[in-house]
Amino acid sequence: MPSRRQILHVGASLAALAALTPWFPSASPAPRSLLKRPIPGSGEMLPVIGLGTSRTHDVALNDAALEPLREVLRALTNGGASLLDTAPSYGRAEAVCGALAAQSGLRRKLFLASKVSSTGRAAGQRQVEASFAALKTDTIDLMQVHNLQDTSTQLGLLRDLKAQGRVRYIGVTHYLDSAHERLFDVLRQEPVDFVQLNYSIGERNAERELLPYCMDKGIAVLINRPFQRAALFDRVRGRSLPDWAAVELGVTSWAQLMLKFILANPAVTAVIPATSNPRYMADNLQAGQGNMPDAAQRQRIIELFA
Ligand SMILES: NC(=O)c1ccc[n+]([C@@H]2O[C@H](COP(=O)([O-])OP(=O)(O)OC[C@H]3O[C@@H](n4cnc5c(N)ncnc54)[C@H](OP(=O)(O)O)[C@@H]3O)[C@@H](O)[C@H]2O)c1
């Protein structure tokens, strides 16, 4: 049996380690391993929590503006995650991601996803080349046709880039329930590795047909707008988390409960909440650990947000 002195010593060492680990508050448990799920087309394992960059990363390319985002990226990789989703249409965000990845030396730890939103092959080609330059990389892990713009032409381009080894996976995205029918049609007609779509406790349409279809056909699914751009926090403002959620699911925030609701769906490969706040990044990463809600717990979460 360890002596009381040994226990105190180990406790002090753990506290010191926690203090050194950025953005994991010492009061919370040390990060356990982040859940990973396979990309169905390849079997490559992808951590279930990633990072979106729309609006949050559209900042000036100077040190003061980049510093908090550097911390967000460190929190992402320190927490065992890798997926960074951006787009040329997010203002300076794509160039910011490229600068952060290059300056931090973290490129090889990242799974970089970007998008093409052009009409016509030549315009798509120019935009994709600009993305390689902005992201300062020779290989983009995932390139997606943004909001189904000129889908078959751009997928043709992305397929060629994949054959050349410059892009590892290809996909399509949308963010509105009203586009799910179109998304479904594309998935039925065009072979893709990934689809990115909106799904959350506030927007559950995808779980009816799209998510089961993706699961059945082996299409990886990324979830955007998990907090409906933070609007979902208004639904629970001023309310405490229920005890059962903390005890049974180990969650310590509403954000974690909302993300676990999404991850409980087995068709979901990863979810990409956006943030410019390192503490939010660490918070979100905790959702990718421990138990996911079962059917009864999902129902209770639905009732909390009804
Ligand atoms: N068509 C498409 O392809 C498409 C469309 C929409 C989104 N997306 C992708 O999906 C990503 C996510 O969607 P989104 O940016 O629209 O919205 P979102 O992730 O649902 O919400 C982002 C907002 O939530 C806040 N937040 C993040 N973590 C939090 C936490 N733990 N606690 C409290 N607040 C938290 C952020 O605050 P702070 O700003 O203070 O950090 C931010 O304002 C996008 O950034 C983008 O990469 C793609």
pLDDT tens digits for range 120-144: 999 999 999 999 999 999 999 999 9
Q: Report the nearest-CA residue for atom 26 of ligand 1.
A: 275
Check pocket membership of 255 for ligand 1, CB cut-off 6 A. yes
Q: Report the nearest-CA residue for atom 46 of ligand 1.
A: 52
Atom of ligand 1 nearest to the CA of 196: 3
Pairwise CA distance, residues 22 & 221, whole Å: 30
For domain 4-304, the CATH superfamily is: NADP-dependent oxidoreductase domain (3.20.20.100)
Check pocket membership of 286 for ligand 1, CB cut-off 6 A. no
Query: Residue 104 corresponds to which tokens in the numbers above?
Result: 């931090």
Per-residue pLDDT at 4 exceeds 70:
no
pLDDT per residue as tens digits for the range 184-220: 999 999 999 999 999 999 999 999 999 999 999 999 9
Per-residue pLDDT at 7 exceeds 70:
no
Pairwise CA distance, residues 103 & 110, whole Å: 13
Check pocket membership of 196 for ligand 1, CB cut-off 6 A. yes
Atom of ligand 1 nearest to the CA of 174: 1
Check pocket membership of 276 for ligand 1, CB cut-off 6 A. yes
Per-residue pLDDT at 268 exceeds 70:
yes
Q: Report the nearest-CA residue for atom 15 of ligand 1.
A: 274
pLDDT per residue as tens digits for the range 30-48: 456 999 999 999 999 999 9
Confidence grade of residue 19 (pLDDT, cut at 50, 70, 90):
very low
Query: Which DSSP string do the residues of 75-93 spell out, in sequence order?
Result: HHHHTT--EEE--TTSTTH
Mean pLDDT of 21-28: 41
Q: How far is the CA of 137 from the centre of ligand 1 (A)?
A: 24
Mean pLDDT of the chain: 92
Check pocket membership of 229 for ligand 1, CB cut-off 6 A. yes
Q: Looking at residue 21, what is its pLDDT?
A: 39
Per-residue pLDDT at 56 exceeds 70:
yes
Mean pLDDT of 104-123: 97
Calculate ∠ Cα 109-113-118, nearest 5°: 155
CA distances from 295 to 48, 266, 290 (A): 20, 12, 16
pLDDT per residue as tens digits for the range 210-264: 999 999 999 999 999 999 999 999 999 999 999 999 999 999 999 999 999 999 9
Check pocket membership of 203 for ligand 1, CB cut-off 6 A. no
Q: Report the nearest-CA residue for atom 29 of ligand 1.
A: 280
Query: Which DSSP string do the residues of 236-290 spell out, in sequence order?
Result: GTTPPPPHHHHHHH---SHHHHHHHHHHTSTT--EE--B-S-HHHHHHHHHTTSS
